[in-house]
């Protein structure tokens, strides 16, 4: 982002720094690196032009359109369409609506810089300004970009005074407590990826539904491994049979469908995984492909469009999450030797249904070929490569599977 030098007190090494107020870490000096120093305003380093931005469906119907947008001349029309439709704040045709990339980047870069200055990160105001100029230049010239929650949320309160209902949480450094702010945009949600756990009880299963909805509301994605939920083949303590994870996946799927990410037309990002030893593993492997076949039937009738936003796909289940099976080395070795794979009950660890291991792997491949899911996560390898094993095993990932904890 920028060249950073640590202006340390005499005789203090990096390892000796302390975060206590009496002995705070050295502040940052930021030398100008990207934005030319002979240009007064970083936004003057590009040529600007006025364009329209539009998103259309496969039939040419307009799903979104905004005219008279100020865009850097070197930006592609695709970049224009995406940024204007997804990241510009405000209702179209109102004074609150952003109409320039200049506004968007300034809103975020200025807020982040001001936070750094207020929290004492920079050695001087001049260093903070160098940081702002370089950060703005990098975004403006498309050398880097923030994640969606940052563009959605950061700066709305600090630059525009936007307020919302109490619904998120932040860390209060004064009280050393997690608290709910009165205005969620004062402490905006800037993280894109979350990983959550769920317990085998109704209260926690419903808590997960609520927390997922609130993460989607502000533009973030979340992943959960559902292997902790007892299977549909087990028993409840008071008699009867449990619903199993797939039944609750229906609820989670509909929440993700309804709560558009960041309040935009962007779909929610969600990952659900199941370990290969879970008794409901075959149903999990096949669930999305079975639903997909229903959509194919509706489309082939000629009454419904094949568009994934159309009624055929919106009427079926399991379309709003990535699904992955967490396989182990033991399972893959069982496939290699042509053996049988025994599942086990979640609560009692008694034996569950037994399958030909090769059949399970083949069904994973067939269903993924048909509809893209399930993916595979190599549970043994992931935990073998765990860099912080004392913090506990890795059981789940974010929706894109590049974050494990």
Q: Among 252, 253, 196, which residue's Cα sits nearest to residue 228?
A: 196
Which letter, b or e, does each residue of 134-156 get, where b requires 16 or more Cβ atoms within 10 Å of its Cβ? bbbbbbbbeeeebebbbbbbbbb
- Backbone CA torsion sign across 158, 161, 162, 164: positive
Would you say 21 and 2 are in contact if contact means Cβ atoms under 8 Å apart? no
Catalytic annotation present for 402: yes
CA–CA gap between residue 259 and residue 255 (Å, rounded): 6
Which one of the listed residues 58, 336, 366, 400 is annotated catalytic?
Answer: 400
Look at residue 296 and give its three-state secondary structure: helix
Query: Could you tell me which residues come within 8 angstroms of residue 165 by beta carbon, excluding any fewer than 6 positions away?
Result: 184
DSSP for 181-221, please give it.
-SSTTTS-----EEEE---SSHHHHHHHHHHHHHHHHTT-E
Token pair listed for 399:
């929706």
Which one of the listed residues 91, 174, 203, 402 is annotated catalytic?
Answer: 402
DSSP for 112-174, please give it.
HHHHHHHTT-BSSHHHHHHHHHHHHHHHHTTS----HHHHHHTTHHHHH-----S---EEETT
Catalytic annotation present for 398: yes
Which one of the listed residues 320, 322, 395, 398 is annotated catalytic?
Answer: 398
Token pair listed for 11:
């005789």
**How many beta carbons lie within 10 A of that of residue 405, not counting itself?**
15
Which active-site residues does the annotation give?
Answer: 398, 400, 402
């Amino acid at each position: 982002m920028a060249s950073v030098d640590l202006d340390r007190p005499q005789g203090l090494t990096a390892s000796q720094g302390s975060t206590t107020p009496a002995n705070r870490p050295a502040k940052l000096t930021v030398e100008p690196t990207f934005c030319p120093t002979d240009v007064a305003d970083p936004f003057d380093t590009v040529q600007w032009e006025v364009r329209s931005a539009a998103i259309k469906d496969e039939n040419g119907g307009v799903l979104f359109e905004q005219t008279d947008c100020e865009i850097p001349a070197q930006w592609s029309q695709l970049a224009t369409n995406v940024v204007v439709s997804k990241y510009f704040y405000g209702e179209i045709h109102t004074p609150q609506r952003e109409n320039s990339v200049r506004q968007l980047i300034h809103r975020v870069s200025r807020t982040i810089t001001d936070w750094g200055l207020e929290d004492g990160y920079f050695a001087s105001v001049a260093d903070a300004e160098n940081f702002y100029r370089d950060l703005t230049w990098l975004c403006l010239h498309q050398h880097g970009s923030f994640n969606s929650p940052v563009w959605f949320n950061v700066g709305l309160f600090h630059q525009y005074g936007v307020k919302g209902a109490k619904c998120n949480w932040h860390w209060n450094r004064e009280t050393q407590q997690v608290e709910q702010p009165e205005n969620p945009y004062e402490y905006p949600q800037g993280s894109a990826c979350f990983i959550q756990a769920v317990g085998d009880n109704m209260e926690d299963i419903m808590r997960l539904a609520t927390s997922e909805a609130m993460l989607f509301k502000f533009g973030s994605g979340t992943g959960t491994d559902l292997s902790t939920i007892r299977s549909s083949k087990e028993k409840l303590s008071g008699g009867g049979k449990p619903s199993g994870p797939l039944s609750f996946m229906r609820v989670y799927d509909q929440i993700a469908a309804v709560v558009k990410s960041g309040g935009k037309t962007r779909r929610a990002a969600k990952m659900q995984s199941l370990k290969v030893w879970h008794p409901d593993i075959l149903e999990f492997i096949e669930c999305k492909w079975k639903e997909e076949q229903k959509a194919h039937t509706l489309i082939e009738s000629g009454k419904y469009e094949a568009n994934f936003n159309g009624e055929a796909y919106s009427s079926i289940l399991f379309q709003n999450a990535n699904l992955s099976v967490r396989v182990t080395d033991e399972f893959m070795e069982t496939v290699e030797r042509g053996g049988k794979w025994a599942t086990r009950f979640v609560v009692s660890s008694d034996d569950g249904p037994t399958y030909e291991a090769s059949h399970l792997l083949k069904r994973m491949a067939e269903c993924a070929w048909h509809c893209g899911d399930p993916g595979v996560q190599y549970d043994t390898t992931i935990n073998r490569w765990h860099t912080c094993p004392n913090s506990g095993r890795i059981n789940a990932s974010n929706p894109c599977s590049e974050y494990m904890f």
